[in-house]
Amino acid sequence: MTTCDDTAAPCQSCSESDLPVNPFSALRVAFGMLLGEDDFRTMMGNPRGKQMLHAAWLHGSGVAWGYQVALGGEYGLSVSPGLAVDGHGRELFAETSLCLNLMDWVTAQKPTSDTITATLVADFACVPTSLVPTLADPCDVTRKHDDYSRVLETVRLSLRPDDGTSPPPTYRRLRVLFGLLAPGTDQASLDALAAIEAVMSAPEGNRAQVLLAQFRQLAAADAAELKPAAEAGVEGLSLFPATDEKSGVVLARLVIKQHEVSGAIQIDDVAIDSSARTTLLPTSVIQELAAGTAPSLFGTEGTPDYGGPRVLPDSLNWTDDRTLEFRVTAPVNARSLRRAVRITSLSPDRGWADDDVDTIEVRDGGTTVVVRLADQLANDTGRLIVRGTGPEPAFGVAPAVPLAGVAGGPPAGKDDGRDAVIMFPRRPRP
Of residues 169, 181, 172, the one with CA closest to residue 60 = 169
d(CA 172, CA 240): 19
pTM: 0.67
Q: Collect all residues with Cβ–Cβ distance below 8 Å to 427 and sequence separation of at least 6.
A: 318, 320, 321, 376, 377
Q: How many CB atoms lie within 10 A of CB 412?
A: 26
Q: List for the chain the helix, strand, coil content (%; round to 5).
A: 25, 35, 45
Structural domains of the chain in order of their starting residue, each with its CATH number:
2-136+143-166+229-283 (no CATH), 172-225 (no CATH), 313-425 (2.60.40.1220)
Supply the DSSP string of 210-227, one letter for each residue: HHHHHHHHHHHHHHHH--
First to last CA, the chain: 80
Q: Is 128 helix (H, G, I), strand (E, B) or coil?
A: strand
Q: Collect all residues with Cβ–Cβ distance below 8 Å to 311 and sequence separation of at least 6.
A: 326, 327, 328, 386, 403, 405, 406, 407, 420, 422
pLDDT at 298 (0 to 100): 56
pLDDT at 271 (0 to 100): 93
How high is the mean pLDDT in each 10-residue block of the chain (430 residues)? 48 65 92 91 93 95 96 88 96 94 90 91 92 77 77 93 85 94 93 93 82 95 94 81 93 92 86 94 90 62 78 93 94 94 93 93 94 92 94 93 91 90 83
pLDDT at 10 (0 to 100): 40
d(CA 231, CA 244): 8
Q: What are phi and psi of 321, to 5 degrees?
A: -65, -20
